[in-house]
Structure 1
Amino acid sequence: MATSIKDVAREAGVSIATVSRVLNDIDVVNEDTKKKVLEAIKKLGYRPNIVARSLKTQKTKTVGILVPDISSGFYPEIVRGAEDVANIYDYNVILCNSDFDIEKEKEYLRVLKEKMVDGVIYMSSSLQEETLEIINELNLTTVLVETKDKEESLPSVTIDNIKAVKEATEYLLNKGMKKIAFAGAKRDNMNAWRDRYIGYENALKENGISIDEDLIYAEGLKVKSGYEAVQHFESSKKDYDAVVCASDEIAMGVINALRDNGKRVPEDVSVIGFNDNIMSSVFYPKITTVKQPSYDMGSVAMRMLIKLLNKKEVEESQFVLDYLLVERDSCKK
């Protein structure tokens, strides 16, 4: 038979109301009494009924984390940072993987609301207007990670993606490369990946280089997309001496395809990635990339969300973390 709150009260020699106050972290209980209750809970192995508790407190101490691709080398580290902070504050986590599917994202937001989560950390493949309307309609306390919405109405944790890719492209330009291709995701979405294309575009324009559409491939962030990008560049018969990639997975596909087309990296073509996932440092050649502080992005976002849920002041609602250009072996020295 399951242990009840009455059993805990009897074991601790207190009232059921006192046990309830301890469980809900209400400060009116003195430390000695709280200690007795916590010892009774541990001894009896009592686990409170979250649903019943939430009906009274209107809180489940549960948050949702929505990611576009859990198989990526980037997002798991964000989740880990968020979950570590959630554990410190006794919050549970429900993880949802949208597979870069907008309809799936919208459905997961509704499911998380039905599960009575207190709030959501949202990594979106596209911040479309209708998605933002669903968040508002469901009254979901939400913190964005990696991407910010156009009006900056939702709190976010990001890096400056435009500046980061502009710097990465200029790094190649400063090495004398002028025919630089780009491999990334669709440019019409309102997200970080679009900003990476804008950074590439800005760098070329500011250096007096016109954009060549034949040297742009924006169809996805995975290895397959990188491989297809090189096939696209090769079929155009245009010369190119470098490729800026919107993810490290793309960079890996690009390098493999270049090798299959008889081109050497970095001797013939330099390649630069983005994110600095674990594979980028062991791939051959080791990939020069823009490092995002993924663990910190998750932990900062969760701290921000928990503050919002507990009606505490958030010092900065649009939190921009630093990035780092990591030089390795995939670009000419």
Structure 2
Amino acid sequence: MATVSRVVNHNHNVKPATEKKVMEVVKRLNYRPNDVARGLASKKTTTVGVIIPNVTNSYFAALARGIDDIAEMYQYNIILTNSDGDEQKEVKALNTLYSKQVDGIIFMGNELSAPVRDEFKAERIPVVLAGSVDPQNDFPNVNIDYRQAVSSQVNQLLDNGNQRVAFVAGKLTRSINQDFRIPGYQAALQAHQISFDEQLLFEAADYDEGYELCEQLLSHQATAAMVSNDEAAAGIMNGMNDRGVQVPEQFEVATSDNTKLTEMTRPTLSTITQPLYDVGAVAMRLLTKLMDNDEIEQKQVLLPFGMKQRGSTKGA
């Protein structure tokens, strides 16, 4: 048994002739190691659970790719679960992952709800947030500086002469918007000595909602929009064009995620650039350190962001 174990676990302390004999039998019997039994024996399943709000969203897909590549590098398997950003589904997904004895969790979500936070604390296995903020700083997380990023993009829209710039996000009450993006938006207004108007805050989570939002934007005399979601931004831009409002000459649109969609639209979308792949990769590397009980230098990792000016804003 010990010899077979060494061979199937790629321990090279076995004579080549013996290894060949073992592998011939393994092939003939179609034998595969039992990861469940192995996990029970070692108390480590080398499996990581990843909770993602929407597997079809390009933003989260890019993060997941970074996670998966680093997991493979460190010989961890990934169990990916889709939560639809629903609190109850997130709790259910967590319990399913816990029952599979995962060694760690990477959470990607629009909001870290109280029930999910309680589940994390109760189970006491390593958790890292990727592209998800934690104002209470309970859990390690990897993000960009959303406040500064939004402030920089809104500053450019204001520099272009816009006096009424709207801010559009999925849910304004979410922490990432309420605590980071909206303060960044307000800071840019203050720097240009423009009063904050709460009526210029709007909600749109996807293409259809962005498209339908155009009437409200125009009725509030907005001439530009800072949008937190690429799909919603594409909806706003197409909605404006279909209503005879030219982008960017009469209405400017800037977005936040720099997914492939921003290059597929016409005109192409100006955007904040985020190292999405790196956010996922760094989150997974951070999790491997926690699972190995290594000391980590910082719980909050902020990666650099950039700006990409394209056809949806003036001066691109």
Q: Does the pair score TM above 0.5?
A: yes
Q: How does 1:1-333 map to 2 (within 5 A)?
A: 6=1, 14=3, 19=6, 23=9, 31-33=12-14, 43=24, 44-45=26-27, 46-191=31-176, 195-220=180-205, 222-234=206-218, 237-333=219-315
Moved more, 264-273 or 36-45: 36-45
CA deviation string 1:152-198 (max 9, x = no partner): 12111100001000000001111211110111121222236862233
* Partner amino acid, structure 2, of 1:320: L
* Equivalent position SS for 1:217: strand
Alpha-carbon shift at residue 147 of structure 1 (Å)? 2.0
Query: Is 2:270–2:313's contact at 8 Å kept on the other side of the alignment?
Result: yes
* Partner amino acid, structure 1, of 2:231: E
Alpha-carbon shift at residue 55 of structure 1 (Å)? 1.1
Alpha-carbon shift at residue 284 of structure 1 (Å)? 0.4
* Equivalent position SS for 2:147: helix
CA deviation string 1:81-138 (max 9, x = no partner): 1101111121111111111212111211111111111111101221122321111112
Alpha-carbon shift at residue 295 of structure 1 (Å)? 0.6
CA deviation string 1:290-310 (max 9, x = no partner): 111011111111111111111
Give the number of aligned pairs. Answer: 311
Distance in 2 of aligned mates of 1:145 and 1:37: 45
Query: Is 1:241–1:270's contact at 8 Å kept on the other side of the alignment?
Result: yes
TM-score (norm 2): 0.91
* Partner amino acid, structure 1, of 2:284: M
- Alignment-derived partner of residue 3 in structure 1: none
Distance in 1 of aligned mates of 2:22 and 2:69: 24
Question: Unpaired segments of 5 or more residues in structure 1?
Answer: 1-5
* Partner amino acid, structure 2, of 1:19: R
Distance in 2 of aligned mates of 1:316 and 1:174: 36
CA deviation string 1:43-83 (max 9, x = no partner): 52542211111111111111011111111121111111110
* Equivalent position SS for 1:191: helix
* Partner amino acid, structure 2, of 1:327: Q
Residues 175, 41 of structure 1: alpha-carbon distance in 2 compared, 3 angstrom cutoff = farther
Distance in 2 of aligned mates of 1:248 and 1:223: 8
Alpha-carbon shift at residue 241 of structure 1 (Å)? 1.4
RMSD: 2.2
Distance in 2 of aligned mates of 1:135 and 1:123: 13
CA deviation string 1:238-285 (max 9, x = no partner): 222111100111110110111122100001001001110011012100
TM-score (norm 1): 0.86
CA deviation string 1:11-56 (max 9, x = no partner): xxx3x6x639x83x9xxx7x53397887667552542211111111
Distance in 2 of aligned mates of 1:193 and 1:322: 21
Question: Unpaired segments of 5 or more residues in structure 2?
Answer: none
Residues 37, 111 of structure 1: alpha-carbon distance in 2 compared, 3 angstrom cutoff = farther
Distance in 2 of aligned mates of 1:228 and 1:126: 25
Distance in 1 of aligned mates of 2:129 and 2:207: 25
Query: Is 2:170–2:229's contact at 8 Å kept on the other side of the alignment?
Result: no
Query: Is 1:163–1:199's contact at 8 Å kept on the other side of the alignment?
Result: yes
* Equivalent position SS for 1:319: strand
